[in-house]
């Protein structure tokens, strides 16, 4: 259930990223869907689900390509949100490229 859309058509905000008319969420995880821009990579599939938090960490799982990514940091997200939201998509695309 955590990777299945629980409230179809839900409007919402992804902190630091923006507002979306379709902002799908599972039970506790955000589902990428067709949101652009997004904190995961441009190469992540719409079925990607995950979460990022106040501690500056992120987790995503992309069942479309059988790859997951976890990044742990010790820098609060609010201190580097603008930088993180530029770096995370590039990092995610690099992870997917390396995974082949």
CA gyration radius for the chain? Answer: 13
pTM, entire model? 0.90
Report d(CA 53, CA 47) in Å as an integer.
20
Report, as ranges of residue numbers, the positions in the chain whose pLDDT lies below 70: none
Cα dist. 8→4, 23, 29, 33, 65 in Å?
A: 10, 8, 14, 11, 24
Q: Percent helix, strand, coil in the chain (nearest 5)? A: 25, 25, 55
**pLDDT value at residue 61:** 98
**pLDDT value at residue 35:** 93
């Amino acid at each position: 259930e955590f990777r299945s859309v629980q409230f179809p058509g839900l409007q919402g905000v992804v902190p630091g990223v923006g507002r979306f008319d379709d902002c799908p969420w599972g039970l506790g995880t955000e589902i990428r869907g067709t949101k652009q821009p997004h904190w995961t990579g441009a190469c992540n599939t719409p079925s990607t689900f995950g979460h990022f938090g106040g501690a500056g960490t992120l987790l995503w799982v992309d069942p479309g390509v059988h790859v997951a990514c976890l990044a742990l940091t010790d820098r609060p997200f609010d201190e580097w949100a603008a930088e993180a939201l530029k770096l995370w998509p590039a990092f995610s695309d690099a992870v997917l490229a390396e995974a082949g």
